[in-house]
Chains A and B, each alone.
Chain A
Amino acid sequence: GQQLNQSPQSMFIQEGEDVSMNCTSSSIFNTWLWYKQDPGEGPVLLIALYKAGELTSNGRLTAQFGITRKDSFLNISASIPSDVGIYFCAGRGNYGGSQGNLIFGKGTKLSVKP
């Protein structure tokens, strides 16, 4: 089945640093979504991307939908302690009869040192 490769698996950075993580797939997606999950809670939608090449920001977060439709990246600028959590990419296809369920990456665990 479709798989998303998300990297890095974990990051340990200093407060104020910029962060970059990405997802790649062997299949194309029509939508890329980025979620953040805090311990014991559900994923919270951060950014949704709909068109190849699209670049979208949400505060200090910026995400891009790759031109090939097989990848996406998320950048966080000037990280702060509350950025700590696990970030998941998710892709949504809509072909082969699929109604477009989300396929998730394995997550990037972000730790921020004050």
Chain B
Amino acid sequence: EPEVTQTPSHQVTQMGQEVILRCVPISNHLYFYWYRQILGQKVEFLVSFYNNEISEKSEIFDDQFSVERPDGSNFTLKIRSTKLEDSAMYFCASSGSARVSYNEQFFGPGTRLTVL
């Protein structure tokens, strides 16, 4: 069964450093998302991406964040200058194009980001 994959599973970085989190969405999906989950808290929406552009972003997704689909399979989240409060699990999700599959978002296993 197709699934969303993410790399790395765990990233440790120093405050102020740039990180890039990578995702490979399900191959025939057209909508891509990033969410984050601070330890012990709920999942929070960051950004959605469709047709090679951001379609929606939350207030969390400030100028330090950017997303890119550099080729036909990868979808990346870049944090330009990490802060301690960026430490969280970051989940990539994707959904399809037909009405039903558009609503059903499938999540990857996550990247745990630790900022020291």
Contacts and interface: CB of A to CB of B under 8 A. Distances in A.
Interface residues of A, number: 24
Nearest to B10: A40
Contacts of A31: 103
A10 B45 CA distance: 23
A98 B110 CA distance: 25
Contact of B41 (A41, A45, A90, A106): A106
B104 A98 contact: no
A65 interface: no
Contact of A107 (B42, B55, B100, B102): B42
Interface in A29-70: 31, 33, 35, 40-45, 48, 50
B42 to A, nearest CB: 5
B103 A43 contact: no
Nearest to B6: A42
Contacts of B104: 33, 45, 48
Interface in B27-52: 33, 35, 41-45, 48, 50
A101 B103 CA distance: 9
A104 B91 contact: no
B110 A42 contact: yes
B56 A104 contact: no
A69 B69 CA distance: 35
A11 interface: no
Interface of A: 31, 33, 35, 40-45, 48, 50, 88, 90, 92, 98-107
Interface of B: 4, 33, 35, 41-45, 48, 50, 55-56, 58, 91, 100, 102-110, 112
13 contacts: A31-B103, A33-B105, A40-B112, A42-B108, A43-B107, A44-B107, A45-B107, A48-B100, A48-B104, A88-B43, A99-B50, A99-B55, A102-B35
